[in-house]
Amino acid sequence: MVKAQKATREEESLVQALARTHHEVGVAFEREAGMSRSRMHLLASLRAADEMTQSALQELLGVDGAAITRQVKQLEADGVVQRRADPEDHRYTLVTLTPQGRKLADAVVRKRDAFEARLATAAPAKDLAALTKTLEKLRDAARSKK
């Protein structure tokens, strides 16, 4: 079975290899951080902006309105965020981290930095720099319509 897996991976396309790597690294990071990527992105967005409308979070994270409402309500129930009506326009809800939420967001950043540092030991710095440039070229090629 190991030979079959090895042969399959050797025949794997570039897109498959990138997708598998993205998935495996993402799952490993979620496990280390103790939360989903969507929750981490939401916390990181609020950490960077201090306060945002739910609709701005929805747009930034690329999720639908029901999903962002569900996530924010859960985080509010956990004491991580607080919501309030926008005093300038009551149609909008402002979301901000609580002190507990800021501590959690800061801890996630520390875990991310440690995780990235551990991954960086997998290859020499020059190889990682070359990989970063190559990935940028692949993203550019994927966006082009040639």
- Place 11 in a pLDDT band, splitting at 50, 70 and 90: confident
Give 71 or 12, the one with higher predicted confidence.
71
Q: What is the pTM of this model?
A: 0.77
Q: How would you classify residue 62: left for phi > 0, otherwise alpha for psi between -120 and 50, otherwise beta? A: left
In 3D space, the residue among 47, 46, 32 whose CA is nearest the CA of residue 111 turns out to be 32
Expressed as residue numbers, the domain containing 52 is: 37-121+128-139
Taking the C-alpha atoms of residue 18 and residue 46, their distance in angstroms, rounded to an integer, is 29
51 beta partners: 96
In a domain? residue 87: yes
Q: pLDDT digit string (tens) for 90-145? A: 999 999 999 999 999 999 999 999 999 999 999 899 999 999 999 999 999 999 87
What is d(CA 99, CA 47) in angstroms, rounded to the nearest whole number? Answer: 11
Residue 56 resides in a domain = yes
- Residue 12 has phi, psi (to 5 degrees) of -60, 140
Task: Give a yes or no: residue 30 inside a domain.
Answer: no
The mean pLDDT of 79-94, rounded to a whole number, is: 94
Assigned domain for 13 exists: no
With a pLDDT cut of 70, the percent of the chain lying above it is 92
pLDDT band at 62 (very low <50, low <70, confident <90, very high): very high
66: domain CATH number is 1.10.10.10
> Cα separation of 30 and 36, whole Å?
5
Question: For the residues 53-57, what does the mean pLDDT come to?
Answer: 94
Q: Count up the domains in the chain and report the number.
A: 1
Whether 9 has a pLDDT exceeding 90, the answer reads no
- Does residue 81 lie in a domain region? yes
CA distance 143 to 140: 5
Residue 46 lies in a domain: yes
User: Has residue 58 been placed in a domain?
Assistant: yes
Is 21 a member of any domain?
A: no
